[in-house]
A and B are shown apart, each in its own frame.
Chain A
Amino acid sequence: MFQADGRLLSEDLQSPAIDSDAGRRALALTRSFFTDRLVPPNTSTKGQYVDETFPSGTIAMVFAGDFLLADLQQNVKSFEYGATFLPRDRRAAADLGGNAVVATKDTENPEAAAKFLQFLADEQNMADFCAKTNVLPTRTALAGRELAFAERPDLMELYVQQAEAIAPGDVAQVTAPQFGAINNVLIEQLERAFVGKADPGRVLADMSTAIEQQLK
């Protein structure tokens, strides 16, 4: 969607923006993976993870986040593998991934919560955590710093470059407070388009209505 230069939510993040030309293009392309039998049919949004099918050699390519490298290193035994950038349409884009750590303002122990968040976001702690678990840091202070990644540091360089395509506007949409519920809408509706053989136009319209309900 972002690669097609589309938006999931409007600029003010108050309404859905997915039922658009970019949305139709993005859905048609991803749906064609299934209709043209380019991907195993059981790898749709509710299906199986691909971290077993790639190491077994059943599929030749996989969209895999940096966090999967440790598993791949352990499980890929019979071939060598490399990585390249994500495909692009109008622009390059990447997903931030991960989940947000949240403390509510009404928490009973605000000081302890703040201290814990500070501990998690501490520059050195984040650097150590990211290096050991093979994920990219979210602190801008760590952007230029070279981390000693535990697995495939050669590929991690590429992941760092790909992450440069993460645009703040995209991040704002996938970190909206309602994104958890919206993500569930995406899972349900995309499954209909990918394996349910539902009409893509209908799916986009239903997706838009369901996202609107979540934003209320």
Chain B
Amino acid sequence: MVTELARPEAAATARGPAASARRRRRSAAVAYLLLAPNLLLFSVFMIVPLVWVVVLSLQSYSGFGSAEWVGTENYTTMAQDPVFWRAALNTAVFAAVTVPLSLALGLGTALLLNRHVPGRGFFRGLYYLPFVISGVVIALVGKWIFDEQLGVVNRVIRALGGSGVGWQSEGVPALTSLIVMIVWARLGFVMVVYLAGLQGVPGEYYEAARVDGATPWQQFRYVTWPLLRPTTFFLVVLTVIESFQVFDVVYVMTRGGPGNATQVLVTYAYATGFDSRRQGYAAAIGVVVYLVVLTFTVLWWRVQRQRGAEAAP
């Protein structure tokens, strides 16, 4: 009896792991099959170009004829290139100004449009509109507003007796015009993410705060702002990454000028790769931008994971 009882158990344990491994393999195969189209597209459009860029960054190549292997020369040249450092500084300044500005304005707009105001849906759509418009169109609108000779702003200033601002011929105004257009374009997205965050804040917290006699500012300071911290962190990382990738608006509005006053890393990479035809050097700049963006992405991912672990029971 003992042996009879033992047999099916032994058979079950012998069959069990094998069967479950088979099941796992089969389900993994199905998962990979379903993922295959995405993985294929991801490899073709992301992995292959990425590897290609890294390889190209170690070469000297004009786009014609054959490439010459130069090792890390492009990177050592970059370290001594004042225009590269100027572009890096401009990009950092650009991020340092546009990120807090778009977050502050986006949050303000979200707070306003989270209330029951007339035409709320219309205004939400209106603020979101620039985000779905192509960057080139944003830049053309920017040119129409800020053109030194024909732009609306300078025409108004001249009509009021002023001499106009050097939006394209002076560094600080040129950078300011770009910041205004980028913040305008980004505002809608920040607003929508904050709106989603605000709608996740339980109404009871505000009721409790009001019962405790909290003023609207105190309610914002001690209820809304702390509970929006994950949203803010998400937006900071995302907008910093976006700031390091900015290209179209700068290229169309100022082409990096006057001088290199508005040159950012991606416009410099473009000018180097396609105007000077130093595609290896341009690829090296691209790798640097990639590493900066990667650092912020990893930082975001790690913090998100940490938060997830803390939230788990």
Closest to A59 in B: B149
Q: Which B148-174 residues have C-beta < 8 A from chain A?
A: 148-150, 166-169
Q: Which B219-263 residues have C-beta < 8 A from chain A?
A: 254-260
Which B residues lie within 8 Å of A41 (CB)? 148, 166, 168-169
Closest to B146 in A: A42
Q: Taking the complex as formed, is A38 at the interface, i.e. its CB lies under 8 A from any CB of chain B?
A: no
Cβ A195 vs Cβ B169 within 8 A: yes
Q: How many residues of B contact A (CB 8 A)?
A: 25
Cβ B259 vs Cβ A191 within 8 A: yes
Cβ A102 vs Cβ B64 within 8 A: yes
The proximity string for A residues 160-201 relative to B, scoring 1 for CB distances below 8 Å and 0 otherwise, is: 000000000000000000001101100110011001100000
The proximity string for B residues 75-113 relative to A, scoring 1 for CB distances below 8 Å and 0 otherwise, is: 000000001000000000000000000000000000000
- In angstroms, Cα B260 to Cα A190, docked, is 12
The stretch from A46-54, A60-68, A70-78, A130-138 touching chain B is A46-54
Which B residues lie within 8 Å of A44 (CB)? 169, 257-258
Closest to A40 in B: B149
Closest to B83 in A: A188
Kindly provide the distance from the CB of B280 to the nearest chain A CB, expressed in whole angstroms. Answer: 13
Q: Taking the complex as formed, is A58 at the interface, i.e. its CB lies under 8 A from any CB of chain B?
A: yes
- In angstroms, Cα B168 to Cα A53, docked, is 14
Closest to B262 in A: A46
Partner of A195, one of B66, B150, B259, B276: B259
Cβ B148 vs Cβ A181 within 8 A: no
Supposing A58-B150, A104-B65, A196-B259 touch, asked if A42 and B168 sit within 8 A by C-beta, the answer is yes
Q: Which A119-175 residues have C-beta < 8 A from chain B?
A: none
- In angstroms, Cα B64 to Cα A104, docked, is 7
Q: Taking the complex as formed, is A56 at the interface, i.e. its CB lies under 8 A from any CB of chain B?
A: yes
Q: Taking the complex as formed, is A80 at the interface, i.e. its CB lies under 8 A from any CB of chain B?
A: no
Q: Taking the complex as formed, is B50 at the interface, i.e. its CB lies under 8 A from any CB of chain A?
A: no
Closest to A191 in B: B259
Which A residues lie within 8 Å of B169 (CB)? 41-42, 44, 47, 195
Q: Is the interface of A mostly helix, strand, loop or mixed?
A: loop
Closest to A102 in B: B64
Which B residues lie within 8 Å of A181 (CB)? 276-278
Closest to B260 in A: A188
**A–B Cβ pairs within 8 angstroms, 27 of them:** A40-B148, A40-B149, A41-B148, A41-B166, A41-B169, A42-B166, A42-B168, A42-B258, A44-B169, A46-B255, A46-B257, A47-B257, A47-B258, A48-B149, A48-B168, A53-B149, A53-B150, A58-B149, A102-B64, A106-B66, A183-B275, A187-B275, A188-B260, A191-B258, A192-B259, A195-B258, A196-B258
Give the top 10 A-B pairs by smallest Cβ distance, nearest first.
Answer: A46-B257, A42-B168, A41-B169, A42-B148, A195-B258, A184-B276, A196-B259, A42-B169, A58-B149, A184-B275
The proximity string for A residues 104-117 relative to B, scoring 1 for CB distances below 8 Å and 0 otherwise, is: 10100000000000
Q: Taking the complex as formed, is B141 at the interface, i.e. its CB lies under 8 A from any CB of chain A?
A: no
Cβ B258 vs Cβ A52 within 8 A: no
Kindly provide the distance from the CB of B82 to the nearest chain A CB, expressed in whole angstroms. Answer: 11
Kindly provide the distance from the CB of A128 to the nearest chain B CB, expressed in whole angstroms. Answer: 29
